[in-house]
A and B are shown apart, each in its own frame.
Chain A
Amino acid sequence: MSNTTVSRRTLLGGLTAAGTAGLFGCSGNGSGSQPAPAPAPTGTAVVGKTNLDIYAWTNGPTIDANFRKRIELFNREHAGKFTAKINFLPYDQYWQKVQLQYAARKPFDIYYWDVQAYAHYKRNLVFNEQPVIDNTPMMDDKAYPTKLYEPWKFDEKNLFCVPENIQSMAMFYNRSHFDQAGLDYPDETWTWDKVIETAPKLQKSAGGKVTRWGLDIGALGIWWGIQALAWAAGTAFVDRPLEPTRFQMTDPKVVESMKYVQDMMWAKHIAPRPDERAGIAQNNGGFASGAYSMIADGTWNIASFQQMKDEWAMAPLPKYQGNSIAPYWLGGWVIPRQSAALTAAQTFATWSATDFQPQMAKDHDWIPLQNAARQSQDMLRGMPEGFDAAMKNLENARIGDIYTANMQQIFNEVYGTNFEQLLNNKLAPQAAAQKMQDAATKLLG
């Protein structure tokens, strides 16, 4: 046995060298121009394993239970061919897991879309699913709202994930509160000015504290909610949602929209301020508990509002400066190029967007993409009054996302921080707009 010893310096040096060598070994064509994503295989042969692992984030008991039922139905209809299993993750862990799976070169077989997945498209990690979708009725203008797909055609021609449902924004109101106050219900003729005029009539106080607010700004407190007002005023936060070239936060119409929302909470105080909202949300949950009479919010809340004790209904987003333009979002499935169950994943995604749509209408959780299902009696039965009118408003709707490289940083650091300051009345609308314009423009580069 030799007496050779390894000094600490040599050991650390060796480990550093090994680490660096490993790093260089794995470095290479990471970014820069990527080749156009290849189309997904469309043949009859099954590519990959037949047991499919589906990943989605948890959306609460009602929606999660319906998802499980959907998987059971898929497994029954595809018995002997494919077996699917759904895995739920909390949203705040979901994207980290998706990215880490990609980092490990073992991406999920299929996962639910959100704006973060645009980064996966940008890095050529997902297939062009257009050839697969072309084999379904999904491109039939009469059967599906194909116009709504346009912002999802990231190369302006093809879809890189399979859409299956739509979400939008609407005004939800507590009918019981309106009945008690003897007021007319909101409808498609309502303007935001009328909402502001009505809200104090619904407000209740006790012991010097407001116990029920006539209005909560709801999603108007999020950047895309305020942008809906800017759209109605004839402008937008960016020149185009897909790879914008400039921000337009200092456009006077955008600034005016921001001031309009800020005034609801501060100048007029007809809606709770952020600290009041936080207290209400934590204490009793807001609209669903009857703490607010009206709220502008996403249609994904319909399933949870169904559990409310009070009678409630909905109306299209009120008009601002004569127009009502709501944001919309598509929900759907992303299939990685390295999916281990490619055919099973494609089958599940297209089945969800076609054969499953009537059942989706019955489930009342997601809003089906297929026109017939969305407009069916099954869909409307049990849905709140005004749902149909809100859906008709989709014709004017615009995509509620922005697709660009640093968008998460823009949403969080720029929009998140400055809108929070604006809504807390710590920043004047013009100052907030200027800060956002400068910071977002830097990140756009």
Chain B
Amino acid sequence: MTQQRVVVRPVADRPSVSRSPRPRLTMTRRQALWCYVFIAPAVLGLLLFSLGPMIASLGLSFTSYDMLTSPIWTGTENYGALFADPIFRKSLGVTLIYGVVSVPATLVIALVLAILLNAKLPGLKFFRSAYYLPSVISGVAVAMVWKWMFNGEYGLVNAALAKVGLQGPAWLTDEQWALRALIFMSLWGFGGTMLIYLAGLQGVPKELYEAARVDGASTFRQHLHVTVPMLSTVTLFNLVMGIINSLQVFAEPFVLTQGGPNNSTLLLSVYLYQNAFEYLKMGYASAIAWVAFAIILVLTLLVFRSTPMWVHTATEDDR
């Protein structure tokens, strides 16, 4: 029998020996565990920075809260005051007009340009980038540029109109034109919507266009009867996002007009901001936020309810 060399290793180096075997996680459980680990930051972020403040704001909407002192429970007083507030009603009207005009207009422009940019023509990459560029620029920077462009005396818009013999209005200081100017400006940011349409266009089967052509359809009819229905799910997404965004737009009216003249551009988010941070009425502002949320919810539900009438869902039969 050979003598074995005994090496004494420090305790820390010794391999741990489990006396009783640890229960091993099944593959499914291990996957579930890792899944929770990976989604934890997002879930925590959602709970802490979105859901938590949302619930807090819901609670605050039933209080009188000035941020300087503790909130005081007032029940539904804020909501009652809201519907009796003529400025809130005006703000709601302005927001709805803004949404009703800007959302469909953006969708149409984005779709038309996406179709044009989907063609195989030289220089397309440049145009795709150029059209998308405004979407990645900060809203405040965009608003500052447009403030100059809309200047009644020295702005580019009126200078261009003057070239064709038209006298442009005082875009941002005239009550009749200020909201139109904001809507016009909003169309400039169609890039994001266009990009989604462009992605959607890649998935439209070419055979459908060929079949339409065989049937004698013009280019316009091909798009009307093939592109539009085939992109209806994309349109649904863009429409819902557009509705949500139109009720939340803030930077542009805040920088350009601060809600004026005569509250003609007082979009809900600007009125909310004024109440929260200028008038110290955080409870009231929270109520405005929840009314806006309810409007978004109702409009979104209405859009979803209407989908059987206009959204084409691809089935096996289609293929």
Contacts and interface: CB of A to CB of B under 8 A. Distances in A.
Interface of A: 15-16, 18-20, 22-24, 26-31, 95-96, 99-100, 102-103, 119-120, 123, 125, 274-276, 278-280, 282-283, 406, 408-409, 412-413, 416-417, 420-421, 424, 426
A22 B175 CA distance: 44
A123 to B, nearest CB: 5
Contacts of A29: 69-70
A278 B59 CA distance: 42
11 contacts: A15-B47, A19-B56, A30-B65, A119-B66, A275-B174, A282-B154, A283-B154, A408-B279, A408-B280, A417-B263, A421-B261
Nearest to B170: A275
A406 B274 CA distance: 12
Contacts of B174: 275
B314 to A, nearest CB: 30
A23 B60 contact: yes
Contacts of A417: 260, 262-263
B277 A27 contact: no
B262 A426 contact: yes
A161 to B, nearest CB: 16
Interface of B: 47, 51-52, 55-56, 58-60, 63-73, 87, 147-148, 151-155, 170, 172-175, 260-263, 274, 277-280
A279 B262 contact: no
Contacts of A412: 274, 278-279
Contact of B153 (A16, A99, A280, A406): A280
Contacts of A95: 277-278
A95 B68 CA distance: 12
A278 B172 contact: yes
B68 A409 contact: no
Sort A-B residue pairs by CB-CB distance and give the 10 closest, nearest first: A279-B153, A275-B170, A19-B55, A23-B59, A30-B69, A103-B67, A30-B70, A96-B277, A409-B279, A30-B72
Nearest to B51: A15
Contact of B70 (A28, A96, A426): A28
B81 to A, nearest CB: 12
Contacts, number: 116
A420 B261 contact: yes
Given A99-B68, A408-B279, A424-B173, 16 more contacts: A15-B52, A15-B55, A16-B58, A23-B71, A26-B71, A27-B73, A31-B66, A95-B278, A99-B277, A99-B280, A119-B66, A275-B173, A278-B173, A409-B279, A424-B261, A426-B262
B59 A416 contact: no
Nearest to B59: A23
Contacts of A424: 173, 175, 261
A202 B279 CA distance: 42
B278 A279 contact: no
B44 to A, nearest CB: 13
Nearest to A407: B279
Contact of B262 (A28, A278, A283, A421): A421
B147 A282 contact: yes
B68 A102 contact: yes
Contacts of B87: 413
Contacts of A31: 64, 66, 69, 72
A122 to B, nearest CB: 9
Contacts of B72: 27-28, 30-31
Given A30-B66, A275-B152, A416-B260, A408 B51 contact: no
Contacts of B280: 99, 119, 408
A23 B72 CA distance: 9
Nearest to B279: A409
B56 A278 contact: no
B73 to A, nearest CB: 6
Nearest to B254: A92
* Residue from the set B67, B151, B175 with the largest chain A CB neighbour count within 10 Å: B67
A274 B174 CA distance: 10
B19 to A, nearest CB: 22
B71 A283 contact: no
A271 to B, nearest CB: 15
A27 B69 CA distance: 9
* Residue from the set B47, B263, B277 with the largest chain A CB neighbour count within 10 Å: B277
Nearest to A24: B73
Contacts of B172: 278
A103 B65 CA distance: 10
Contacts of B148: 282
Given A417-B262, A417-B263, A23 B67 contact: no
Contact of A276 (B47, B70, B153, B262): B153
Contacts of A279: 151-155
A289 to B, nearest CB: 13
A27 B52 contact: no
B168 to A, nearest CB: 11
Contacts of A20: 55, 59
Nearest to B23: A1
B255 to A, nearest CB: 10
A283 B148 CA distance: 9
A28 B72 CA distance: 6
A23 B154 contact: no
Contacts of A23: 56, 59-60, 63, 71
Contacts of A24: 73
Nearest to A25: B70
Nearest to B172: A278
Contacts of B64: 30-31
Contacts of B170: 274-275, 278
A30 B71 contact: yes
Contacts of A96: 277
